């Protein structure tokens, strides 16, 4: 497992040009934009960067050789989840440091607990992205991954638009203001809700990992 | 050490059907044309593909049941797959250290220096020969009991081929209990290295012999068409008709040298054997 993590880290370090550009944009953004955007931007790009190691493994039939190294097939999948979670934690941590640096330098007043809570609330989103993308990237070739991701996000968009239309129709028929009902959640203690969302995202990640392990075990190289 | 019993693997338009037994301390060669089934056989031994039927046992286990510790006893160099080409030798060293407790860094560095492999250059900028040498050195980096080398000399010039073969010879000299399975379509590479050779064609083993027997007892018998008609053909394995003569492959060249004084009896190289078995008419 250690070898897999070192390999993935080396792949990240080999994307120096992209990393430098990414860090530069992150610093510029942190001093010019909404602070919550910085956290989501850095964490999202960081998650995608860590996931890109899968397509690097795919290049030049790399999987065949990787599977001859001293790991079990399932270890490869587990290693990807470990690396993604570690990567997300690092990028998210860095983004928070930048966010607070930006607050101090610009002299903005902020509520520490509220800001941190908002940052923590972003994590399940990235865990969800990783849970969806890792099995897709492991299952398909990079060319097919693009098609599958396009289809996936297309379906998500259709569901979102369909849901919005449905909500509008229900609102018209029943006369209940759903949006104002949701606003009532502001007065509810957010902690159980956040913990619930976290628990769901962790369960999703665990299920995703089981699927990825099965994909690797059935695969021929 | 490696046992394949009626191992079958079916693809569209291709069927592998192999039985092999490779004991410890042997250097076994697989020779055959491109697409004969050499790589498929090696992939089955490594557990990279699931056989359609048959038995396979490597180091006393089914390859798909290998633990990480079992895999440490095997060193592999595949012809078309290896570490990502963005890596440098330095990266490869760091990765190998993470995978193998027995990785001998100093020895690996020395061997890379001997082969003039640059440490800071990405592998994608290496020549074909340098890449081949690195693949073989990586396979040998952790003192594996069993080396599996798929076409390690393919596409190399004579000097690079000799370098790679010398690396393999040195590895074998270090410990005589080590076993090697090496595939190639270049027969001369195998003649000087292997204890025995399996010849594969169309997914089937068409010949298995000790190299000494192949080179010592097999021979070419050249006779005129008339002489061919009168020839005792019990040791003739393959024939090839030329303009005015017939060239025969025999597994008992001494028999023909003694009994047919007019016949020209020559030593056969593995290439001759392949040509006459695959291309000749029996």
Gap between the Cα atoms of B9 and A211, Å rounded: 26
Domain with A48, as residue range(s), is 2-218
Q: Do A72 and B67 touch (CB under 8 A)?
A: yes
Q: Average of pLDDT values for A62-72?
A: 94
Tell me which fold the domain B2-213 belongs to: Rossmann fold (3.40.50)
Q: Average of pLDDT values for A177-197?
A: 75
Q: Do A56 and B49 touch (CB under 8 A)?
A: no
Point out the residue among A3, A14, A63 whose CB comes nearest to the CB of B98: A3
Q: B146 in the Ramachandran plot: left (φ > 0), alpha (ψ -120 to 50) or beta? A: beta
Neighbours of B73 (CB within 10 A): 16
- Could you read off the pLDDT of B65-111 as tens digits, one per residue? 999 999 999 999 998 889 999 999 999 999 999 999 989 999 999 99
pLDDT-based confidence at residue B276 (cuts at 50, 70, 90): confident
- Could you read off the pLDDT of B105-156 as tens digits, one per residue? 999 999 999 999 999 999 999 999 999 999 999 999 999 999 999 999 988 8
Parallel, antiparallel, or unpaired for β B27-31 and B179-184? parallel
Point out the residue among A2, A11, A64 whose CB comes nearest to the CB of B84: A11
Q: Which residues of A touch B69 (CB under 8 A)?
A: 70
From the list A41, A13, A214, the residue with the least C-alpha distance to A126 is A41
- Could you read off the pLDDT of A115-162 as tens digits, one per residue? 888 888 889 989 998 999 999 999 988 888 888 878 887 888 899 889
Q: Is the ipTM of this complex over 0.95?
A: no
The pLDDT of residue B33 is above 90: no
Cβ burial of A74 (10 Å; 0-12, 13-18, 19+) is: middle
Q: What's the gap in Å between the CA of B282 and the closest CA on chain A?
A: 38
Q: Do B48 and A64 touch (CB under 8 A)?
A: yes
Cβ-Cβ pairs closer than 8 A, A with B, add up to 84
Q: What's the gap in Å between the CA of B48 and the closest CA on chain A?
A: 5
Parallel, antiparallel, or unpaired for β B179-184 and B146-150? parallel
Gap between the Cα atoms of A39 and B49, Å rounded: 43
Which of B 2-31 lie inside 8 A of A, CB atoms? none
Q: Average of pLDDT values for A24-30?
A: 80
**What was the pLDDT predicted at B155?**
85
Which residue is closest to A16 within chain B, CA to CA? Answer: B86
Q: Report domain extents, chain B.
A: 2-213, 218-279
Q: Do B81 and A62 touch (CB under 8 A)?
A: yes
The pLDDT of residue B280 is above 70: no
The pLDDT of residue B282 is above 50: no
Which residue is closest to A63 within chain B, CA to CA? Answer: B81
**What was the pLDDT predicted at A191?**
79
Average pLDDT over chain B reads: 91
Which DSSP letter does residue B67 get? Answer: -
Sheet containing B179-184, strands listed edge to edge, beginning at the edge strand earlier in sequence:
B53-58, B2-11, B14-22, B204-210, B196-201, B27-31, B179-184, B146-150, B74-77
**What was the pLDDT predicted at A93?**
93
Poorest-pLDDT segment among A182-191, A193-202, B17-26, B228-237: A182-191
Point out the residue among B67, B74, B82 whose CB comes nearest to the CB of A65: B82
Cβ burial of A103 (10 Å; 0-12, 13-18, 19+) is: middle
- Could you read off the pLDDT of A30-45 as tens digits, one per residue? 777 766 778 888 888 8
Q: What's the gap in Å between the CA of A11 and the closest CA on chain B?
A: 8
Q: Which residues of A touch B45 (CB under 8 A)?
A: none
**What was the pLDDT predicted at A216?**
95
Q: Are A72 and B96 in contact (CB under 8 A)?
A: no
Q: Are A12 and A49 in contact (CB under 8 A)?
A: yes
Q: Average of pLDDT values for A41-62?
A: 90
Tokens of B102: 């027995």
Average pLDDT over chain A reads: 87
Which residue is closest to B51 within chain A, CA to CA? Answer: A220
Q: Do A14 and B96 touch (CB under 8 A)?
A: no
Q: Please indicate if any CB of chain A lies within 8 Å of the CB of B71.
A: yes
Q: Please indicate if any CB of chain A lies within 8 Å of the CB of B275.
A: no
The proportion of chain B whose per-residue pLDDT surpasses 90, expressed as a percent, equals 68
How many domains is chain A built from?
1
- Could you read off the pLDDT of A79-103 as tens digits, one per residue? 999 999 999 999 999 889 888 888 8
Q: What's the gap in Å between the CA of B237 and the closest CA on chain A?
A: 37
Length in residues, chain A: 221
The pLDDT of residue A65 is above 50: yes
A2-39: string of b/e by CB count within 10 Å (b at 16+)? ebbbbbbbbbbebbeeeeeebeeebeebbeeeebeebb
Length in residues, chain B: 282
Gap between the Cα atoms of B92 and B77, Å rounded: 14
């Amino acid at each position: 497992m250690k070898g897999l993590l070192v390999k993935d880290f080396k792949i990240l370090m080999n994307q120096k040009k992209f990393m430098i550009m990414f860090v530069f944009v992150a610093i510029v953004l942190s001093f010019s934009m909404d602070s919550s955007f910085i956290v989501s931007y850095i964490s999202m790009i960081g998650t995608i960067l860590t996931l890109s190691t899968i397509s690097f493994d795919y290049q030049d039939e790399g999987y065949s050789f990787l599977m001859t190294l001293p790991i079990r097939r399932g270890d490869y999948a587990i290693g990807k989840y470990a690396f993604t979670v570690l990567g997300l934690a690092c990028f998210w941590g860095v983004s928070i440091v930048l966010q607070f640096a930006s607050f101090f330098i610009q002299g903005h007043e902020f509520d520490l607990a509220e800001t941190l809570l908002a940052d923590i609330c972003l994590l399940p989103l990235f865990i969800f992205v990783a849970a969806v993308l890792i099995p897709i990237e492991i299952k398909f070739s990079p060319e097919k991954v693009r098609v599958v991701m396009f289809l996936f996000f297309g379906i998500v968009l259709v569901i979102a638009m369909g849901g919005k239309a449905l909500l509008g129709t229900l609102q018209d028929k029943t006369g209940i203001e759903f949006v104002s009902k949701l606003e009532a959640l502001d007065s509810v203690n957010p902690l159980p809700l956040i913990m619930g969302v976290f628990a769901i995202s962790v369960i999703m990640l665990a299920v995703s990992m089981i699927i990825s392990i099965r994909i690797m075990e059935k695969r021929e190289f | 050490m490696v046992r394949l019993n009626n191992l079958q693997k079916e693809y569209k338009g291709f069927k592998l059907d192999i039985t092999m037994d490779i004991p410890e301390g042997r250097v076994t060669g697989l020779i055959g044309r491109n697409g004969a089934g050499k790589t498929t056989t090696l992939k089955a031994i490594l557990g990279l593909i699931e056989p359609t039927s048959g038995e396979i046992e490597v180091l006393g286990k089914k390859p798909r049941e290998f633990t990480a510790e079992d895999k440490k006893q095997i060193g592999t160099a595949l012809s078309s797959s290896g570490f990502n080409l963005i890596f440098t030798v330095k990266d490869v060293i760091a990765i190998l250290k993470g995978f193998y407790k027995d990785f001998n860094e100093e020895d690996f560095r020395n061997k890379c220096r001997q082969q003039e492999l640059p440490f800071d250059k990405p592998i994608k900028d290496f020549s074909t020969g340098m890449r081949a040498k690195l693949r073989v050195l990586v396979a040998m980096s952790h003192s594996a009991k069993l080396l599996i080398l798929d076409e390690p000399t393919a596409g190399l010039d004579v000097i690079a081929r000799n370098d790679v073969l010398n690396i393999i010879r040195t590895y074998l000299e270090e410990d005589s209990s080590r076993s090697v399975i090496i595939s190639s379509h270049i027969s001369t590479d195998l003649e000087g290295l292997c204890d025995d050779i399996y010849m594969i064609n169309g997914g089937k083993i068409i010949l298995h012999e000790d190299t000494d027997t192949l080179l010592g007892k097999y021979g070419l018998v050249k006779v005129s068409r008339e002489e061919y008609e009168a020839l005792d053909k019990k040791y003739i394995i393959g024939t090839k008709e030329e303009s005015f003569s017939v060239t025969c492959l025999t597994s008992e060249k001494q028999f023909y040298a003694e009994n047919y004084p007019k016949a020209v009896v020559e030593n056969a190289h593995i290439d001759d054997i392949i040509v006459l078995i695959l291309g000749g008419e029996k």
